Each structure stands twice: as structure tokens, then as C-alpha cells.
């Protein structure tokens, strides 16, 4: 599943290519892509609306849309699932085998939602004030889709990095958990956007093993983990995200290259790039964690 850097790469691509464009039509080719909505009438929900902004929190992506009146009361919520791709400028391409939705804009350009495994979806949602109290670009309350209201802030949000209260609150929530730190980092209600890959990489950089109890870590140690998570995700963002197969691509269909820079994730049995010790893998809760037994004491 795409993690925060991969979703942010997609968000930036959409913002660059389709911000301000107006929907002309939306064709749904698979009902699961808009589950909860009537596929035939889904197009009418976006009819003649304009994309006012493209936003994200953690792994969740949405586009705020407004009608002719200028009111922006709804969001086109996008969940990429395991294999969802948002591809632009495919107006000359025939409908592909795994293309689930095709949106055409009034200027003739096209946005396609391609999803091989059909776990992703589009949905229209109401907007609600962010329960974390963040503000928008003009100082008003930031509005987010109702499905995202339960999600914690992520380390790449501007408010998270500029207001120490958000960071301190996150540290408090993490330290209150009597569970393995790796499991806590994956809890999107505690801190958003850190998935399996970047949790392993952040813990390696912080020198902390994934099965350490969060409650037993000091506040400075937790702050260090969050700082490394932010740093490693920013580096991944610079390289277009992490791609292990053809399922994750940006809006132009290109893959990211951060997998070449991974220190521990997916490297079981290979020598640590720092000390040479073979990387170990442990399993818990249906997931795997990779760590260096020397660098992470």
C-alpha cells in the first residue's frame, strides 16, 4: 500500500496538473470503485464542479470541489488502497483493463483511476472542521472529509512542525501506549502516515528496536523517532517515493527510487550498511519488522 511520501507525490502531481479544472463527465467502469454510491449517478455529483484544492493527511487524499456558486462544501475523497493509481492526460488512451474510473474535464484532459486489486475507491464526502484545530491558508478552520476526522496529524503537516503543541501531544499519546513501538507507529489514530517501510527506517535511524515498549521509552527518544520518521519520509519524497513493483507510480506513470536507499526494510539476511551485521526480521500481528541487532540496541 502506498505510504505518506507516495501519496504526497501523487497529491503534488494532481495539484500541478488538474487544480482549477472543471469536471465535464465521470465514467465508472467498476462498481467497487465507488462502493456506497450508485455508479450511474456518481457523475452527477461532480457535474460542473471545479477542483479548488488537493489536500492530504497521512495516506488519505482528497480534492475540495466547488460549484458555480463558489460554495465548497464537499470533497472528492480518494483512497488508493493497495494498487490505486491516479493518472493524468490519458485522453488519447483506450480504457485499460484495470481502469476503474475516468474523469474528463471541460478542457478535454482526463484523469484516470487505475486499480488492479480494486481495494481503492472514490467517494463524495461532507467536510468538517479539523478536530486538531488546524487552520487553512487564510486563517480559517481547516476543513477535512468526515472519514479523516479520526486520523491523527502526520509529521509532514506544516502545523505539526511549526506548533510544538501538536508534537508534544503526539509524544504523550505514544508514551501512553503499553505496546511495541513499531505497532504504535502504525496506529493512524496516534500518528498518521508512518507505514511499515518508514517505521522500520525511522527506528533504525533512532537506534531503537521495533519491539521496545512505547511506554518504556523516554520522551526525548520518542521525539527522536518522530524526527527521523519525518527526515526519512522527506528523503523518500525527494526521490519520488518507494516503488517495489509497477503498482505504485506518480500521476505520469513513473516509479520512485527510494527503495535503493533503504537501510533495513526488506533486507533480511543482508549486511547492515553501517556495521555489517546481518539484518534480522521479526513478525508480530501479521506484520514484519526489520532491524539491525547491533545498531538498534
Find residue 218's DSSP bridge partners: none
- Architecture of domain 158-291 in CATH? Orthogonal Bundle (1.10)
Single out the residue of 213, 223, 229 nearest to residue 171, CA to CA. Answer: 223
- pLDDT tens per residue across span 35-88: 999 999 998 999 989 999 999 999 999 999 998 765 557 999 999 988 898 999
Residue 166 among known ligand-binding residues:
no
Q: How far apart are CA 23 and CA 103, in angstroms?
A: 7
Question: Phi then psi for 266, rounded to 5 degrees?
Answer: 70, 15
Q: Where are the domains of the chain?
A: 4-148, 158-291
Task: Tell me the pLDDT tens digit for each residue of 249-276.
Answer: 566 666 544 566 789 999 999 999 999 9
At residue 4's C-alpha, the angle toward residues 162 and 187, to 5°, is 85
What is the reported pTM? 0.89
Is 30 annotated in a binding site? The answer is no
Domain 4-148: homologous superfamily in CATH = MutM-like, N-terminal (3.20.190.10)
Output the CA angle 175-181-183, nearest 5 degrees. 115
- In tens, the pLDDT along 19-50 reads 999 999 999 999 999 999 999 999 899 998 99
Indicate the DSSP class of residue 149. T
Least confident stretch, 65-74, 218-227, 272-281: 65-74
Strand partners, 91: none
Is 117 a known ligand-binding residue? yes
Q: What is the pLDDT of residues 93-133, one digit of tens each?
A: 778 889 999 999 999 999 999 999 999 999 999 999 999 99
pLDDT digits (tens, 9 = 90+) for 127-170: 999 999 998 878 888 999 999 999 999 999 988 988 899 999 99
Active site residue ranges: 2-3, 59, 287
Amino acid at each position: 500500500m502506498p505510504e505518506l511520501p507516495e501519496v504526497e507525490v501523487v497529491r503534488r502531481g494532481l495539484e500541478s496538473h488538474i487544480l482549477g479544472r472543471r469536471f465535464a463527465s465521470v465514467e465508472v467502469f467498476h462498481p467497487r470503485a465507488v462502493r456506497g454510491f450508485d455508479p450511474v449517478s456518481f457523475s452527477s455529483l461532480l457535474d460542473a464542479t471545479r477542483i479548488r484544492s488537493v489536500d492530504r493527511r497521512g495516506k488519505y487524499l482528497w480534492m475540495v470541489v466547488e460549484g458555480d456558486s463558489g460554495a465548497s462544501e464537499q470533497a472528492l475523497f480518494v483512497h488508493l488502497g493497495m494498487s490505486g493509481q491516479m493518472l493524468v492526460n490519458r485522453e488519447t488512451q483506450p480504457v485499460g483493463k484495470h481502469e476503474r474510473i475516468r474523469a474528463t474535464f471541460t478542457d478535454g484532459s482526463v484523469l484516470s483511476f487505475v486499480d488492479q486489486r480494486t481495494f481503492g475507491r472514490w467517494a463524495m464526502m461532507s467536510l468538517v472542521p479539523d478536530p486538531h484545530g488546524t487552520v487553512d491558508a487564510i486563517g480559517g478552520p481547516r476543513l477535512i472529509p468526515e472519514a479523516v476526522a479520526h486520523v491523527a496529524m502526520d509529521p509532514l503537516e506544516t502545523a505539526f512542525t511549526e506548533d510544538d503543541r501538536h508534537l508534544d501531544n503526539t509524544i504523550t499519546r505514544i508514551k501512553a501506549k503499553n505496546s511495541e513501538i513499531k505497532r504504535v507507529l502504525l496506529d493512524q489514530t496516534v500518528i498518521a502516515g508512518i507505514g511499515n517501510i518508514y517505521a522500520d527506517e525511522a527506528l533504525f535511524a533512532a537506534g531503537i528496536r521495533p519491539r521496545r515498549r512505547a511506554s518504556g521509552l523516554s520522551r526525548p527518544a520518542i521525539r527522536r523517532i518522530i524526527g527521523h520518521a519525518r527526515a526519512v519520509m522527506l528523503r523518500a519524497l525527494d526521490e519520488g517515493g518507494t516503488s517495489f513493483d509497477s503498482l505504485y507510480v506518480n500521476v505520469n506513470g513513473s516509479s520512485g527510487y527510494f527503495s535503493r536507499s533503504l537501510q533495513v526494510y526488506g533486507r533480511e539476511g543482508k549486511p547492515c550498511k553501517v556495521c555489517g551485521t546481518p539484518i534480522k526480521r521479526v513478525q508480530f500481528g501479521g506484520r514484519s519488522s526489520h532491524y539491525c541487532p547491533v545498531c538498534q540496541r
